[in-house]
Amino acid sequence: MARVVIESISKTFQQPKKEPIQALRDINLVVEDQELIVLVGPSGSGKTTLLRLIAGLEEPTQGTVSFNGSVMNLVPPQQRDVAMVFQNYALYPHMTAFENMAFGLKLRKHSKAEIENRVWETAELLGLKPCLDRLPNALSGGERQRVALGRAIVGKPKVLLLDEPLSNLDTSMRAQLRVELARLQARLATTMIYVTHDQVEAMTLGHRIAVLREGTILQVAAPVNVYQWPATLFVAGFIGSPAMNLVRGCLKSEGNAIQFEWNASTGSDGANTLRVPLPERLDKKLSSSVGCPVVLGIRPEHLMINLWPAGESAHGCGKSAELNAVIEVIEARGPETYLHLEMGQHRLTARVDPDFRVHVRQKVVVAFNLEKAHFFDPTTEKALI
C-alpha cells in the first residue's frame, strides 16, 4: 500500500477577474500505510481540494505530495495508483453493476478471467452478488454507493480517496454503511483518506481525524483525543454532538485561588456575576492568564442537573459551579435526552438520562463539573490547558 506525505501544500485559485482565492495554506500531513484518516471541517474548509491534489486532479501552487517517498507532483492521475469515490456515485447508467465495476480493469487490459475473478471477489466482499446484472436505476441508494466503492477497490489501489460518499443516503443507511466501511478497511488494509463535514462520521470511522478550517489544519489526532483535548476554540465547538458549551468570562485571583467570573444576566450591572473557584490542579496552568478574558468550555455530559430549589452539588460532581436555569427545549433521543437551557444571556445544552423527568419552562439548578472544563484564549482561540 502507500504512506502519503503532504508537505507545505498550498493551493490558490484564480477567479475570472484574476483575484486570488487561497483554498489551502501550508498544509502538512502524514497518512501512514494502511491508515484510515478522516478530513473533517465545514464547507469551504479545503477538504475536497486537498483530496483532489492527492489524486492529481489539481496541481498545488506550492509544496509536494509523496507516496512511499516518491514525489507525485508531476505524475498524472492515471499513473498514481489512486482510486476515488465521489458523493454522486458517478455510475454509467447504461452499464450493469458488473460492467461498472469491470470498466476500469478493461481499460487497463486485464484478462477476461482476471476481471471476472476480481469483480466477483469484490461483489462478495460488498454483498453485491445479487445485484451485478442490474442497471443503476434498478439499485437502491446504498447499493449504488457500494457499486461505486466496488469500482474503486476492484483495482486494488495503493490509496483510496472518498469524498463525502455517504452524504446522499438516509440516516439509517449512512449508519449501516459507516460500519461496513470500517470493516472493509480493516479487511483490505488499504490506505484511505475520507472527506466529510459530518463529525459523527469522522469520530466513528477515522483512526485519526484532521480538522480543517479556512484552508488550514487545526488539529490531527485520534478521535477520542480531539474530543477530550481540543486544540482550539473552533475544534471544541465543531467536534461533538451536541457541541461543547462555551461561556465567555475572565480569570480573577482570590487569595491563593483562581476564579472564573462571568455575568449570567442580560444586564451589565454585575448583579448576577458568578465567581467560581477552579480546581487546584488548574491554578498553575492558568496563572499566566489571570486578569485576562477567557472562554470556558464544558461538554453537555459534564453539566449536572438538579431540580429546583438548589440542594447539594448535582450527583456529587465535586468542585462545581451552580446556577439557576430554565428549560427551553427538551430533545429526546431515545437512549439520552438533551436539555436546552436558558440562563439570562447564555444558552447551554445538558445531556441527561432519558428517565430524568422535566418539562419545558421548568426551573432547574445546573452544576458545572469544573474538573472536566476547558479554557481557551478568545483572541488566538488556542487551548490554555
Phi, psi (deg, nearest 5) at residue 289: -105, 5
Q: How far is CA 104 from CA 109, 119, 194, in A?
A: 9, 11, 21
Question: Is residue 308 a contact partner of residue 357, using CB atoms and an 8 Å limit?
Answer: no
Helix orientation angle between 141-153 and 112-126, rounded to the nearest 10 degrees: 130
Distance between CA atoms of residues 302 and 317, nearest Å: 9
Phi, psi (deg, nearest 5) at residue 208: -135, 160
CATH topology of domain 4-233: Rossmann fold (3.40.50)
Q: Would you say the C-alpha torsion 359, 360, 361, 363 has a positive or negative sign?
A: positive
Contacts of 359 (CB under 8 A, 6+ apart): 327, 330
Burial of residue 186 (number of CB atoms within 10 Å: 0-12, 13-18, 19+) = exposed
| pLDDT (0 to 100) of residue 385 | 86
| pLDDT (0 to 100) of residue 57 | 95
**pLDDT tens per residue, the chain (385 residues)?**
799 999 999 999 988 877 899 999 999 999 999 999 999 999 999 999 999 999 999 999 999 999 999 999 999 999 999 999 988 888 999 999 999 999 999 998 999 999 999 999 999 988 899 999 999 999 998 899 999 999 999 999 999 999 999 888 888 888 888 888 888 888 888 999 999 998 889 999 999 999 999 999 999 999 999 999 999 999 999 999 899 999 999 999 887 888 888 876 544 444 567 777 888 888 888 989 999 999 999 999 999 998 876 544 343 344 455 778 899 999 999 999 999 999 878 899 999 999 998 999 999 998 888 889 999 999 999 999 8
Q: How far is CA 3 from CA 82, 142, 158, 187, 193, in A?
A: 12, 30, 9, 18, 11
Distance between CA atoms of residues 45 and 41, nearest Å: 6
| pLDDT (0 to 100) of residue 367 | 87
Contacts of 142 (CB under 8 A, 6+ apart): 169, 173, 176, 177
346-352/257-263 β-pairing: unpaired
Q: b/e per residue, 22-43, with b = 16+ CB within 10 A?
A: ebbeebebebeebbbbbbbbee
Q: Please choose, from the candidates 236, 372, 347, the residue with its C-alpha nearest in 3D space to the C-alpha of residue 338.
A: 347
In the chain, where the domains are located: 4-233, 245-376
Q: Which three cell numbers stand for residue 68?
A: 512511499
Distance between CA atoms of residues 280 and 257, nearest Å: 7
CATH 2.40.50.140 correct for 245-376? yes
CA–CA–CA angle 133, 134, 139 (5° rounding): 145
| pLDDT (0 to 100) of residue 245 | 95
Q: How far is CA 16 from CA 13, 19, 21, 23, in A?
A: 10, 7, 11, 16
Distance between alpha carbon 256 and the CA centroid of its chain, in Å?
40
- Residue 147, Cβ neighbours under 10 Å: how many? 27
pTM as predicted: 0.89
